[in-house]
Chain A
């Protein structure tokens, strides 16, 4: 599956995205480190959905668009509305992980008519003083995202192997830079005030070994702020659950979105 590109008439920004599969559209919003190619998790989701996975402005091939974004939610939300417009999608299911979970929640709160069902996996964007978690932006610069994985060997396996190590490290740091723009120095985005506006049926997922977003505290906080939200837990997973556990990640999203038996998931 190759990366596609289109240019948005409204903003002039180029959108780099993967699109695969058939069925109802599902917008996937990526985590702090972007998208590591057409990932296995995307392949699994594409067995059930028309999956649309764009790089957010600032990440990967869109790195130079970071300076055009305000750090708040509005520019990003309008951008994703533009992306859906450009692809002729009136509304979609939305699954976001990590910072993508924040972006998905903002989209659902600010433009509720564009979001069918919503899945937030290990979302960033809330801050609980009693459960700060590890600082994703204060890690060893030679090994900056190791803390995001449950297994320490995963960073090398998913982000470095098969690539020029300098290129891989530079891209990793630039992707973290993009995350920092929206979350520095504390990931309190103000989304908490907007979460009650969400109309979509929502599943909040946290991961057992997420060092950045402690599962119990943040699962409860997101669930209680979103009307009617359900809660699930990925056992054994870290912050980047979709890389380390693609099947279980995709199964959780698919089961919730494809099924009307919402209660069964919780």
Chain B
């Protein structure tokens, strides 16, 4: 089994009265709550955590895309992937993902992913989400009536741009390009493709057709997620796909301490910050008309999603033990977490677990503690799970010895007076 370390990058300074004074954490969130100077530390702390997770042996480092969102500070996951490509050596770069329908031309996504794959030596996992309605329709202004058409066309264009060695013309409904000819191209052809979804039937069929990984990124945990994943596996069986747990990923909030009591003491307030403030979304931005297809509405999944959003609203009022019992979080001592995570993996039948170890306003050092506890005390016992299956959805990087080694950061300019090049010194003399 594979374990990925994922950070949403929430803004940790939302005020205590945020939910009373503001209607949404997303789309029309009050920009006056943002402070760019504090963001300097926030971004660097979060990137430090991702790099720390590489040291701890996590299989992948996860990042994603949100816009105008105070719980997800990555409008461009590509930028995060670029710095991780230089500053890490082994872990997969789980770019989960880029909302491809937002970019015109979509070949820009193909180009950037190719650059990341080249720089990282073939460690990229490319996530192709449709994207949330809040991001795509409301924050970025994409028409919900044609969003899915654009998504599918962008997907087809990117796949062909990666694979067709010749210049070709693309005469689509939404994109027209006379000369498509990608330069650079990815090392992996193509990088593994994961499709994050929230339970639409069309997405399941799309994953089955192309043999993509389906990633269910939920904040309501594995007990509620089990029903949806059961639907996914049933659909895959109906479509004749051979079962392989690595074709699915699931995201779960996790925190580990020495004892169950210590876990509550250390993490409860940060979990509450996440469930109450970070998920405070105005319902009018949840679901633009046309964002979901009629089939999805008809299948009753919209109803289920409405149930889920109220489940999210409930989370803030649950006791700590209820949050664990209902699966919103996996928490406790290493033994407790092992027992809960075994249930996560076996009840959902997923080979990839996206571990949300940072949540809300959790400080860096605390998150490092939890990250290390999970890596050293729990994961070794879980890794043998699903070893009888082959993982076709992880990157196949270049051999380690063939990969370029980035120059180390020296900080010479910060720690010593800057030396002046003789030519520059001469020029200064002439001017004076």
Contact = CB atoms under 8 A, between A and B. Distances in A.
Interface in B118-162: 137-138, 141, 143-146, 149
Contact of B145 (A66, A138, A141, A144): A66
Given A140-B283, A141-B306, A142-B306, A180 B288 contact: yes
Nearest to A136: B289
Nearest to A141: B287
Contacts of A155: none
Given A137-B289, A142-B306, A170-B298, A177 B284 contact: no
A139 B294 contact: no
A173 B289 contact: yes
Interface size class of B (residues with CB under 8 A): 20 to 34
B143 A181 contact: yes
A137 B144 CA distance: 10
B405 interface: no
Contact of A181 (B137, B141, B146, B298): B146
A63 B289 CA distance: 13
Nearest to A183: B143
A166 B284 CA distance: 19
Contact of A71 (B143, B285, B290, B294): B143
Interface residues of A, number: 24
B141 A185 contact: yes
B297 interface: yes
A170 B299 CA distance: 11
Contacts of A185: 137-138, 141, 143
B286 interface: yes
Interface string B233-270: 00000000000000000000000000000000000000
Contact of B141 (A176, A177, A184): A184
B283 A141 contact: yes
Contacts of A225: none
A185 B287 CA distance: 14
A67 interface: yes
Contact of B143 (A140, A141, A174, A180): A180
Interface string B62-83: 0000000000000000000000
B145 A181 contact: yes
A241 interface: no
A67 B141 contact: no
- With most chain B CB atoms within 10 A of its CB, the pick from A63, A138, A176, A179 is A138
A138 B285 contact: yes
A103 B346 CA distance: 55
A148 interface: no
B145 A184 contact: yes
Q: Chain A: interface secondary structure?
A: helix
Contacts of B294: 63, 170, 174
A142 B302 CA distance: 10
A178 interface: yes
Interface in B286-315: 286-290, 294, 297-298, 300, 302-303, 306
Given A138-B285, A141-B286, A184-B137, A178 B145 contact: yes
Contacts of B144: 137, 177, 180, 184
Contacts of A66: 145
A144 B285 CA distance: 11
A139 B287 CA distance: 9
Nearest to A172: B289
Contacts of B285: 138
A140 B281 CA distance: 11
Nearest to B288: A137
Interface string B174-202: 00000000000000000000000000000
Nearest to A179: B289
Nearest to A139: B284
A65 to B, nearest CB: 12
Interface in A17-33: none
Contacts of B286: 141
Interface in A179-236: 179-181, 184-185
Given A138-B288, A185-B137, A185-B143, 11 more contacts: A138-B285, A140-B284, A142-B283, A170-B297, A176-B289, A176-B290, A177-B144, A180-B143, A180-B145, A180-B289, A180-B290
8 contacts: A137-B289, A138-B284, A141-B287, A141-B306, A174-B294, A184-B288, A185-B138, A185-B141
Interface of B: 137-138, 141, 143-146, 149, 283-290, 294, 297-298, 300, 302-303, 306
Interface of A: 63, 66-67, 71, 135, 137-142, 144, 166, 170, 173-174, 176-181, 184-185
Closest 8 CB pairs of A and B: A177-B290, A176-B289, A181-B145, A141-B287, A184-B143, A138-B284, A185-B141, A177-B289
